[in-house]
C-alpha cells in the first residue's frame, strides 16, 4: 500500500467535499445488540469469537441488524448484556437483560424478534449512545470514534457503548442514540457531549443529524427538512405515515390538533466518493433533495 493510501482518511475527504449527512442513517427497523468484549474483525459478527452455534444463529436472523457492543476500555468478563430495539412510530422500543454467557442467547425467543414482536425483556428507557469504533472496518471509526466514546463514557458511563458498524465510515464519528433513533455524524468529543446532553433534555439538534434510524433515506430527509421549516427541535411529535414514489407523508402533533404534510423528495446520485479509507475506487453515493413541502387540509 502506498504512503498516499495510508494517509487517506475518508472522513476528512467527505467533510472537505461537504457531502450531505442527511438521509444516511441505517434504515434497519430491528436491532440486536450483543455485548462482546473481545477483538472485532472487519466483518465483526462473522469473524467473532462467539460460539459457532451462536454466531451462525445470529447471522441467520432475517431482517435483524446484529451489532456487537462493548464498554470503552472493557476487558472480557463473565456474562453479556443484550438489547433488542424495534422501530416504533417515533423512535425505538428498547429492551434488555444480562445473560450468563453467549450460549444463553439461544434461549431467547429470537423468532419473535424476527417477527417484530421483540424478545419480551424488561424495557430500557435509555438513553443509550452507540458509537462506531471498529478500526478493522475503517480506521476513521477507531481514530475518531474512541476519543468520542471516552468523553461520553466519562459523562454517561452506563449509557455509552462502543459498537461495530453504523454505516457511513466517511461520516465518522457516527453515533446512534436510543430510544430516539437519532443518528449523528462528524462528531468530536465536544459536539458529541453537546448533542447527547440536548437529547437527554428532549431536544434534537439538526446540524449533525444523519437522520432517524429505522426509516428509509427519503423519509429521513423529509423529516429533517420539515423540522427545519417548522423550527421543530423537540424529540418525538413527528411521525412518518407513508413513504412511496418520492412522496413522504408526515404527521406533526400540535396542541389540540394534528397537522399533516406531504414532502416530495428526489433521490439523486451524488458525487463519487471513496466510501471507506481502504477503498481505491470512488463510487456514486445517493443524496436526497426535498423539492416541496405542503400541508394537507384535515377533513
**Mean of the pLDDT values across residues 227-256?**
92
Instruction: Using the predicted structure, report yes or no on whether residue 146 has a pLDDT greater than 80.
Output: yes
SS3 content of the chain, % helix, strand, coil (to 5): 25, 30, 45
- As a whole number of angstroms, the distance between CA 202 and CA 235 comes to 5
**pLDDT at res. 281:** 86
According to the model, what pLDDT value does residue 3 have? 45
Question: Mean pLDDT over all residues of the chain?
Answer: 92
> According to the model, what pLDDT value does residue 227 have?
97
Residue 132 has pLDDT above 50, yes or no: yes
81 forms bridges with which residues in the sheet? 98
pLDDT value at residue 75: 66
CB atoms within 10 A of CB 69: 22
> What number is the average pLDDT over the span 122-148?
90
Report how far residue 144's alpha carbon sits from residue 148's, in angstroms, rounded to the nearest whole number. 7
pLDDT by residue (tens digit) across 180-207? 999 999 999 999 999 999 999 999 999 9
pLDDT at 79 over 90: no
Residue 76 scores a pLDDT above 70 = no
Distance CA 8, CA 6 (A): 6
What are the extents of the domains in the chain?
8-215
CA distance 176 to 185: 9
Record the cell numbers describing residue 238, joined without a space. Answer: 413527528
CA distances from 183 to 2, 168, 258 (A): 34, 11, 26
| 8-215 fold | Glutaredoxin (3.40.30)
Residue 135 pLDDT > 90: no
Q: Which residue matches cell numbers 465536544? A: 190
**Mean pLDDT, range 3-26, rounded to an integer:** 84
Amino acid at each position: 500500500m502506498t504512503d498516499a493510501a495510508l494517509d487517506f482518511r475518508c472522513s476528512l475527504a467527505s467533510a472537505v467535499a461537504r457531502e450531505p449527512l442527511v438521509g444516511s442513517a441505517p434504515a434497519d427497523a430491528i436491532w440486536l445488540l450483543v455485548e462482546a468484549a473481545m477483538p472485532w474483525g472487519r466483518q465483526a459478527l462473522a469473524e467473532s469469537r462467539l460460539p459457532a452455534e451462536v454466531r451462525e444463529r445470529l447471522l441467520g436472523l432475517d431482517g435483524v441488524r446484529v451489532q456487537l457492543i462493548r464498554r470503552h476500555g472493557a476487558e472480557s468478563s463473565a456474562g453479556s448484556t443484550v438489547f433488542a430495539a424495534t422501530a416504533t412510530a417515533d423512535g425505538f422500543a428498547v429492551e434488555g437483560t444480562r445473560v450468563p454467557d453467549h450460549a444463553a442467547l439461544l434461549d431467547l425467543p429470537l423468532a419473535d424478534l424476527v417477527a417484530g414482536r421483540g424478545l419480551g425483556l424488561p424495557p430500557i428507557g435509555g438513553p443509550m449512545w452507540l458509537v462506531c469504533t471498529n478500526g478493522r472496518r475503517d480506521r476513521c471509526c477507531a481514530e475518531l470514534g474512541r476519543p468520542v466514546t471516552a468523553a461520553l463514557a466519562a459523562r454517561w458511563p452506563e449509557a455509552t457503548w462502543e459498537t461495530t458498524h453504523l454505516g457511513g465510515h466517511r461520516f465518522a464519528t457516527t453515533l446512534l442514540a436510543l430510544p430516539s433513533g437519532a443518528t449523528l455524524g462528524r462528531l468530536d468529543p465536544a459536539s458529541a457531549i453537546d448533542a447527547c446532553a440536548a437529547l437527554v433534555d428532549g431536544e434534537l439538534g439538526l446540524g449533525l443529524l444523519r437522520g432517524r434510524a429505522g426509516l428509509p433515506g427519503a423519509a429521513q430527509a423529509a423529516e429533517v427538512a420539515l423540522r427545519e421549516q417548522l423550527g421543530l427541535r423537540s424529540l418525538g411529535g413527528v411521525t412518518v405515515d407513508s413513504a412511496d414514489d418520492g412522496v413522504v407523508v408526515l404527521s406533526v402533533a400540535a396542541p389540540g390538533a394534528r397537522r399533516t404534510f406531504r414532502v416530495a423528495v428526489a433521490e439523486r446520485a451524488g458525487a463519487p466518493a471513496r466510501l471507506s479509507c481502504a477503498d481505491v475506487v470512488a463510487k456514486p453515493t445517493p443524496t436526497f433533495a426535498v423539492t416541496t413541502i405542503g400541508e394537507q387540509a384535515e377533513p
